[in-house]
Amino acid sequence: MYYVKLFLLGSTPRSVWQIKYNLPSVAWGTLFPNITLLVVISTFSFLFLQTLGLTILSLTALGYSIISPIINGLAVMTFFLFYQLYKYLFLYVYQQPSSSDTGGLFFPKAIQHVFVGLYIQQVCLCALFFLARDESGKASSVVQGGLMIVLIVVTVSNFFLVVFVFLG
């Protein structure tokens, strides 16, 4: 792959030097959406996240693990593998220039991305519960829809708590 990249992109001596000797940097615009989607769709078990102190992600786990509990094991495995992958990439592959270092200010932005995904997921799930009908045409999941409304309120309150803590 290295030689293919060198052949296709190395048309000048400067570009060949760039390919050979410069380390790549992180493409935050493509990293955030992928991880956010994975966080929102797949969830961990509620207690696992509470022990790690990740209350925001545990809210997602509580909402989605009831519907599809098999996802929890797959999510734990996926996030462990992503942790190992990005740990390696950030330590040995990526280069973060001093001019683009933010001192951790990307974390509140990433949390806001996760919250937007949570809002969309929870509103759609709430609508799905309220629109569900049984064989006789009566609403069959009103209680679950009500619980989703409570979960949306808890998520919004946690969002304001995070905004207050990180943004003052």
- Residue with token string 């569900």: 132
Residue 38: partners with Cβ closer than 8 Å, 6 or more residues away: 75, 78, 79, 82
| pLDDT for the residue numbered 44 | 38
Which pLDDT band, with edges at 50, 70 and 90, does 149 fall under?
very high
SS (H, E, C) 29-56: HHHHHHHHHHHHHCCCCHHHHHHHCCHH
Token code pair at residue 92: 């040995």
Contact between residue 61 and residue 46 where contact means Cβ atoms under 8 Å apart? yes
Residue-wise pLDDT for 27-77, tens only, equals 777 777 777 777 766 653 443 444 444 555 555 555 566 666 677 777 778
In 3-state terms the chain splits into helix, strand, coil percentages (rounded to 5) of 75, 0, 25
Residue-wise pLDDT for 71-129, tens only, equals 777 777 877 888 898 889 888 888 777 776 777 777 777 788 778 878 888 888 888 88
| pLDDT for the residue numbered 80 | 84
| pLDDT for the residue numbered 168 | 66
What separation, in Å, do the N-terminal and C-terminal C-alpha atoms of the chain show? 47
| pLDDT for the residue numbered 130 | 92
Helix, strand, or coil (residue 165): helix
Q: What is the pTM of this model?
A: 0.60
| pLDDT for the residue numbered 34 | 73
Residue-wise pLDDT for 4-34, tens only, equals 877 777 788 888 877 777 777 777 777 777 7
Asked if the model's pLDDT at residue 131 lies above 70, the reply is: yes
Higher pLDDT, 132 or 110: 132
Q: How far apart are CA 168 and CA 118, in angstroms?
A: 23
